[in-house]
């Protein structure tokens, strides 16, 4: 072989290598695209499944209602009552479908409830400072109590199934869904204790006619609310070390 031929072969080899690299790059790109598409497909399938379940539930309710309506040719008073119940249940089903159908993403629900918790914690710090007379200006006393109580109402609604720590990053313990009655009771306890705090806080502690011992009563009620927060966390929230 002369040099010319060797050079020719070398050139051909370099070209082949180049083509191989380009193909490998294309292959990687395609694999990435395929993975992305698979993820999107999976997400869509989940949404589709959810909607199908809701649709099935609604269809069942609708069928039940149709059946009931068909059996009422001449509505008697009792029949009319039953009819009302049926229509009521249909409306409830539709409302439920709508609120779930809105399809809040699990990540959003968790972020939202954590923000609400943090907001309550900040108001607790602030109201506790006023109660303990570290801050004399009590202008916003009631506002803090209103926020804590207002945010405590319906807090449990932001722990729907599917928002546990196996699916999203969350400190929610599985007990929330395993012991729903206890979880509900823990929420109700916060509601009632914060309502008592609000009642107390609606009085200006600096007013000339302020109730006697208002500060001391505020302190003990702030502590009662704090205890309600802790009681729920103890069972239903993972500690940082878990």
Which residues contribute to the site for ligand HEC (CB under 6 A)? 110, 113-114, 117-118, 120-121, 124, 148, 155, 170-172, 183, 186-187, 190, 225, 228-229, 232-233, 236-237
Query: b or e along 134-163 (b: 16 or more beta carbons within 10 Å of the residue's beta carbon)?
Result: eeeebebbbebbbbbbebbeebbebbeeeb
- Report the chain's C-alpha Rg in angstroms: 31
Burial class (CB in 10 A: 0-12, 13-18, 19+), 102: exposed
Q: How far is the CB of 210 from ligand HEC (least distance, A)?
A: 25
Nearer to ligand HEC, 187 or 218 (CB): 187
What's the 3-state SS for 79-97? HHHHHHHHHHHHHHHHHHH
Q: How far is the CB of 110 from ligand HEC (least distance, A)?
A: 5
Q: How far apart are CA 43 and CA 224, in angstroms?
A: 44
Q: How far is the CB of 31 from ligand HEC (least distance, A)?
A: 35
Q: How far apart are CA 86 and CA 96, in angstroms?
A: 15
Nearer to ligand HEC, 25 or 132 (CB): 132
Nearer to ligand HEC, 83 or 191 (CB): 191
Q: How far is the CB of 23 from ligand HEC (least distance, A)?
A: 47
Nearer to ligand HEC, 83 or 224 (CB): 224
């Amino acid at each position: 072989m002369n040099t010319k031929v060797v050079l020719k072969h070398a050139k051909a080899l370099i070209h082949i290598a180049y083509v191989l690299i380009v193909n490998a790059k294309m292959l990687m790109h395609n694999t990435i695209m395929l993975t992305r598409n698979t993820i999107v497909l999976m997400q869509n399938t989940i949404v589709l499944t959810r909607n199908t379940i809701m649709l099935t539930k609604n269809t069942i309710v609708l069928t039940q209602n149709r059946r009931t309506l068909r059996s009422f040719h001449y509505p008697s008073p009792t029949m009319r009552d039953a009819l009302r119940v049926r229509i009521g249940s249909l409306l409830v089903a539709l409302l439920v479908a709508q609120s779930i159908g809105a399809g809040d993403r699990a990540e959003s629900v968790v972020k939202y409830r954590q923000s609400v918790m943090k907001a309550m914690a900040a108001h607790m710090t602030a109201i506790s400072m006023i109660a303990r007379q570290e801050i004399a200006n009590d202008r916003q006393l009631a506002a803090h109590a209103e926020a804590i109580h207002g945010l405590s109402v319906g807090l449990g609604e932001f722990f729907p199934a599917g928002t546990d720590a196996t699916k999203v990053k969350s400190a929610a313990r599985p007990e929330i869904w395993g012991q729903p009655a206890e979880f509900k009771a823990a929420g109700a306890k916060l509601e009632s204790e914060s309502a008592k705090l609000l009642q107390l806080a609606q009085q200006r502690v600096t007013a000339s006619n302020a109730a006697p011992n208002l500060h001391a009563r505020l302190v003990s009620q702030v502590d009662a609310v704090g205890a309600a927060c802790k009681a729920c966390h103890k069972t239903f929230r993972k500690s940082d070390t878990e």
